[in-house]
A and B are shown apart, each in its own frame.
Chain A
Amino acid sequence: MAITELTAKEVTKKVINKEDLFILDVRNEGDFNDWKIEGDKVQHLNVPYFDLIDGVEGILDKLPEDKEILVVCAKEGSSVFVAEMLDEAGVDAAYLKGGMKSWSEHLEPVKVGDLKDGGEMYQFVRIGKGCLSYMVVSNGEAAIVDATRMTDVYTGFADELGVKITHVFDTHLHADHISGGRIIAEETGAKYWLPPKDAGEVTFEYNALEDANDVKIGNTTINIHPLYSPGHTIGSTSFVIDEKYLLSGDILFIDSIGRPDLAGLAEDWVGDLRETLYNRYRELSDELVVLPAHFMIMDELNDDGTVAAKLGDLFAENHGLNIEDEEEFRKMVTENLPPQPHAYQEIRETNMGKINPDEEKQREMEIGPNRCAVR
């Protein structure tokens, strides 16, 4: 027997297809509790590798015989070490190539649907971190929204489709992940757009993303219409694309809503958040398909791996859109907040261009879940 290697892409397929998977996570307890691979049919056993140095005999009776076993650690080394010991003990085991580091970085492109006149909408699911980004394709041109720092995935995907990236947008200044928008724009000659109200401290040139400043790509019929929707940040902007999709950024998610405190001003912005969710979005068509910039739990994934739902359904089912009392709403989004994302201040400064950490440092800053929502 030999130990096998599973890539983040292969594990992603298993999670999306709801296949049985037993994960032996050998990171320390704190790291495991903070962030792990999740899925409908994923079971976990957490035993740190340093408790297994003398052998795996003590855990053999806790491992299922009828399920695939995947050993996971932070970077890979310790999972190989443990998988080899399991192999010697006669247990088939695989390890996750690149560990949680590659899990955090994997992007899975999924087609959401067609646009008028042959265009297409793609969602890039960063399954390990819950970040969602988008590529709108029409007639040989592409626009990207909320790109992650894994820029070659987008440029490679555009090359495969044979389209030219002409516009790159960020719906807001991100606090949970490092934006790849500026780099993609520099590499491809595309225009980079940011909401000016979030860009007060940025150190580079950008195009001001403002209401009704429509952008057209490819066929003139594919219309990208920005809609000022503050609340998560003061500049947060949504997009209505092709009169069919609502890219809601970090304002509205499938099962939760945006948090107003990551730029430090929860009390000030809660009113904006309420106005956006309870008035501005109410004026839009219920038929729009909401495409958010994040998901928090695997239940938010549809069977095809997309994260999308009709705006009308969210008005009916999303708790954060159904709090009549303003004071109660204010309390929920200011008092009931999850911990802030790991290194979020440094991530904001990186996205402003104020600091330029190397790739290893960027990777480390992004480790962990995104935590951009309140439920």
Chain B
Amino acid sequence: MNADKVLDAKGLACPMPIVKTKKEIEKMESGQVIEIHATDKGAKSDLSAWAKSGGHELLQDTEEDGVFKFWIKKA
């Protein structure tokens, strides 16, 4: 999946993956997609809950070798 921005949040614990995602998404245009890589297990449910509360769309998420990847489309 194509992303306009890739954010590496691997090795970061809560709340940093979301703090960084929020900062990046604020710089983006509506409709653009950010791809986030994280290793914190809590990131999965938190990112989807966060996206939902901000009206953003979680397009896809994967897990491979302990790395979670998320694609979120800015509202």
- B68 contacts chain A at the CB level, 8 A cutoff: no
Residues of chain B with a CB closer than 8 A to A48's CB: 46, 49-50, 53
Q: Are A29 and B49 in contact (CB under 8 A)?
A: yes
Q: Would A50 and B18 be within 8 Å (CB), given that A28-B49, A75-B13 are in contact?
A: yes
Q: Are B45 and A30 in contact (CB under 8 A)?
A: yes
- B5 contacts chain A at the CB level, 8 A cutoff: no
Q: Are B49 and A53 in contact (CB under 8 A)?
A: no
Residues of chain B with a CB closer than 8 A to A74's CB: 14, 42
Q: Are B22 and A50 in contact (CB under 8 A)?
A: yes
Q: Are B42 and A53 in contact (CB under 8 A)?
A: no
Given A51-B53, A78-B15, 20 new contacts (CB under 8 A): A28-B45, A28-B46, A28-B49, A48-B46, A49-B14, A49-B15, A49-B18, A50-B22, A50-B50, A50-B53, A53-B15, A53-B18, A53-B19, A74-B42, A75-B13, A77-B14, A77-B15, A77-B16, A81-B15, A364-B41
- The interface bits of chain A over 334-365 (1 if a CB of B lies within 8 angstroms of the residue's CB, else 0) are 00000000000000000000000000000010
A-B contact count (CB 8 A): 41
| CB-contact partner of A50 in B13, B15, B41, under 8 A | B15
Q: Are A53 and B22 in contact (CB under 8 A)?
A: yes
Residues of chain B with a CB closer than 8 A to A29's CB: 49
> DSSP class of B's interface residues: helix, strand, loop or mixed?
helix
Pairs across A and B, CB under 8 Å, 30 listed: A28-B46, A29-B49, A30-B49, A31-B45, A48-B49, A48-B53, A49-B14, A49-B18, A50-B15, A50-B22, A50-B46, A50-B49, A50-B53, A51-B53, A53-B15, A53-B18, A53-B19, A53-B22, A73-B14, A74-B14, A75-B13, A75-B14, A75-B42, A77-B13, A77-B14, A77-B15, A77-B16, A78-B14, A78-B15, A364-B41
Residues of chain A with a CB closer than 8 A to B19's CB: 53
- The interface bits of chain A over 37-57 (1 if a CB of B lies within 8 angstroms of the residue's CB, else 0) are 000000000001111010000
How far apart are the CA atoms of A31 and B48 in the complex, in Å?
Answer: 13
Chain B 24-65 interface residues, beta-carbon cutoff 8 Å to A: 41-42, 45-46, 49-50, 53
Give min CB distance, A346 to chain B, whole Å.
Answer: 15
Q: How many B residues, CB 8 Å from partner?
A: 14
Chain A 34-90 interface residues, beta-carbon cutoff 8 Å to B: 48-51, 53, 73-75, 77-78, 81
Residues of chain A with a CB closer than 8 A to B49's CB: 28-30, 48, 50
How far apart are the CA atoms of A49 and B40 in the complex, in Å?
Answer: 15
Give min CB distance, B20 to chain A, whole Å.
Answer: 10
Give min CB distance, A10 to chain B, whole Å.
Answer: 22
Residue of A nearest to B22 (CB): A53
